[in-house]
């Protein structure tokens, strides 16, 4: 098949899923064309089947806002024609599904029937997409896609609740490529570069935006470290970073926290980790939690959105109400205070993550591609 993938090329989960999907399809011999404004950060291998097409937006003094959708839909039309693409798979509705609809109409005029698959990822529906400023266009683009998928059952229900949806919605969970998560021996994973032998290592990875409630991460860690010697690895960059440093300084725990910035090798960083914290306000799925579990790390999360589809209460970790940092700290201590118990949670975490392995999930996408495009080669 010849597939165009449109996504945000940044560290966010939707871009990661889109990029991993594209690489997996290319590995299976399909021709994949990424169409976006920058090379996706997770695009880490070269293949004759992978192409990248950059979307440029010309600056012009008249424009207060740069017309990215226009440039994107024009680029989609150009690439579809040039490479005879059969499917455009767009990740994150805003503005990708809308731009794909425009591309589809333009191509129809040229006698080309491109199929549009839209994958909804979360805030394109919940925090942002359902805002009155966007709702009409998002609803229209969902209803006019050839196929629509969500990354969790919870996000499907949110979509049906927040919009007037006339299209079928297919749930395809996010996935993990386990080849990137080999069991790393303790000698390879040099924990002592980060923590003393008696310390546990706790991790949080996010874009440090308010929805992630990273201040709760610091609060939970503060409570845990009073009982259990530990270090916190904070991976990611975002608007809340500075505030977190002040919060940690005030609590007198700044020296126990490592701010590591953005990383496209989270699989390697997670090898150090004994516990992962994800106290988000909302999370359609929580790819970061799944990545942690794939690296044998139990998860302390909220019970918001799709998190209960990933993290299993009392098995792979624990789930608490949003903002209940006491409960999250208590559960974290329970896991960390006993080494045998910690090992059991680690085993459970990786076993649950295997349910979401690439091998299990990729066929679901391919089935939908075939459904919408039975003659695709």
CA distance 149 to 129: 15
Using CB under 6 A as the binding rule, whether residue 285 contacts ligand GMT is answered as: yes
CB of 31 to ligand GMT, least distance (A): 24
Using CB under 6 A as the binding rule, whether residue 286 contacts ligand GMT is answered as: yes
CB of 356 to ligand GMT, least distance (A): 11
Interface pick for ligand GMT out of 283, 295, 300, 325 (rule CB under 6 A): 283
Based on CB atoms, which residue is closest to ligand GMT, 30 or 213?
213
CA distance 99 to 114: 13
CB 124 within 8 A of CB 94: yes
Q: Which of 51, 47, 42 is nearest to 5 (CA)?
A: 51
Based on CB atoms, which residue is closest to ligand GMT, 85 or 95?
95
CA distance 300 to 235: 16
Based on CB atoms, which residue is closest to ligand GMT, 76 or 151?
151
CB of 108 to ligand GMT, least distance (A): 30
Using CB under 6 A as the binding rule, whether residue 287 contacts ligand GMT is answered as: yes
Interface pick for ligand GMT out of 14, 36, 222, 331 (rule CB under 6 A): 14
How many Cβ atoms sit within 10 Å of the Cβ of residue 69? 19
Using CB under 6 A as the binding rule, whether residue 282 contacts ligand GMT is answered as: yes
CB of 262 to ligand GMT, least distance (A): 13
By CB under 6 A, the residues from 290 to 349 that bind ligand GMT are: none
CB of 302 to ligand GMT, least distance (A): 11
Based on CB atoms, which residue is closest to ligand GMT, 328 or 361?
361
What x/- string results for residues 197 through 226 when contact with ligand GMT is judged by CB under 6 A?
--------------x---------------
Using CB under 6 A as the binding rule, whether residue 122 contacts ligand GMT is answered as: yes
Using CB under 6 A as the binding rule, whether residue 253 contacts ligand GMT is answered as: no
Query: Does residue 83 sit in helix, strand or coil?
Result: helix
What is each CA distance from 198 to 195, 229, 336, in whole angstroms?
8, 7, 12
| Among 119-127, 239-247, 317-325, 351-359, the segment contacting ligand GMT (CB under 6 A) | 119-127
CB 307 within 8 A of CB 175: no
Based on CB atoms, which residue is closest to ligand GMT, 267 or 282?
282
CA distance 73 to 320: 42
Contacts for 205 with CB less than 8 Å, ≥ 6 apart:
235, 236, 263, 266, 269, 276, 288, 291, 292
> Can you read off the two tokens belonging to residue 101?
């609809």
Q: Total residues contacting ligand GMT (rule CB under 6 A)?
A: 18
Interface pick for ligand GMT out of 6, 17, 25, 202 (rule CB under 6 A): 17
Phi then psi for residue 118, to 5 deg, are: -115, 125
HSE, side-chain direction, 13 A CA sphere, residue 144: 17
> Which residues on neighbouring strands pair with residue 233, listed in sequence order?
203, 258
Using CB under 6 A as the binding rule, whether residue 40 contacts ligand GMT is answered as: no
Contacts for 82 with CB less than 8 Å, ≥ 6 apart:
none
Interface pick for ligand GMT out of 151, 176, 235, 300 (rule CB under 6 A): 151
Using CB under 6 A as the binding rule, whether residue 9 contacts ligand GMT is answered as: no
Using CB under 6 A as the binding rule, whether residue 101 contacts ligand GMT is answered as: no
Based on CB atoms, which residue is closest to ligand GMT, 91 or 115?
91
Residue nearest to ligand GMT (CB): 122
Count of residues for the chain? 377
Going through 92-236 in order, the beta strands assigned E by DSSP cover: 115-120, 147-150, 169-171, 200-205, 230-235
Interface pick for ligand GMT out of 12, 40, 298, 332 (rule CB under 6 A): 12
Residues that bind ligand GMT (CB under 6 A): 8, 12-15, 17, 121-123, 151, 174, 211, 282-287
């Amino acid at each position: 098949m010849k597939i165009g993938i449109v996504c945000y090329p940044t560290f966010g989960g939707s871009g990661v899923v889109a990029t991993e999907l594209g690489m997996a399809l290319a590995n299976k011999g399909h021709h994949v064309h990424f169409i976006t404004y920058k090379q996706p950060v997770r695009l880490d291998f070269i293949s004759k089947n992978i192409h990248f097409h950059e979307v440029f937006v010309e600056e012009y003094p008249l424009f207060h806002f740069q017309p990215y959708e226009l440039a994107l839909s024009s680029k989609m039309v150009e690439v579809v024609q040039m490479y005879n693409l059969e499917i455009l798979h767009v990740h994150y509705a805003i503005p990708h599904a809308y731009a794909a609809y425009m591309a589809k109409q333009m191509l129809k005029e040229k006698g080309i029937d491109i199929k549009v698959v839209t994958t909804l990822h979360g805030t394109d529906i919940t925090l942002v997409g359902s805002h009155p400023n966007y709702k009409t266009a998002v609803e229209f683009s969902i209803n006019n896609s050839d196929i629509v998928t969500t990354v969790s059952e919870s996000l499907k229900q949110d979509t049906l609740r927040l919009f007037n949806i006339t299209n079928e919605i297919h749930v395809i969970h996010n996935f993990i490529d386990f080849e990137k998560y080999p069991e790393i021996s303790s000698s390879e994973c040099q924990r002592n570069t980060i923590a003393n032998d008696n310390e546990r290592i706790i991790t949080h990875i996010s874009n440090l935006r308010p929805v992630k409630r990273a201040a709760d991460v610091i609060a939970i860690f503060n409570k845990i470290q009073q009982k259990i010697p530990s270090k916190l690895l904070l991976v990611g960059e975002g608007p809340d970073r500075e505030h977190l440093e002040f919060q940690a300084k005030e609590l007198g725990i700044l020296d126990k926290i490592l701010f590591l910035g953005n990383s496209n090798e989270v699989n390697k960083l997670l090898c150090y980790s004994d516990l992962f914290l994800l106290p988000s306000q909302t999370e359609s799925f929580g790819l970061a939690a799944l990545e942690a579990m794939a690296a044998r790390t139990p998860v302390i999360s909220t019970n918001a959105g799709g998190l209960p589809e990933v993290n299993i209460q009392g098995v792979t970790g624990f789930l608490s109400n949003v903002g209940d940092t006491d409960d999250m700290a208590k559960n974290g201590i329970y896991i960390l205070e006993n080494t045998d118990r910690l090992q059991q949670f680690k085993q459970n975490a990786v076993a649950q993550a295997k349910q979401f392995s690439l091998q299990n999930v990729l066929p679901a996408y391919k089935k939908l591609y075939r459904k919408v495009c039975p003659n695709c080669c």
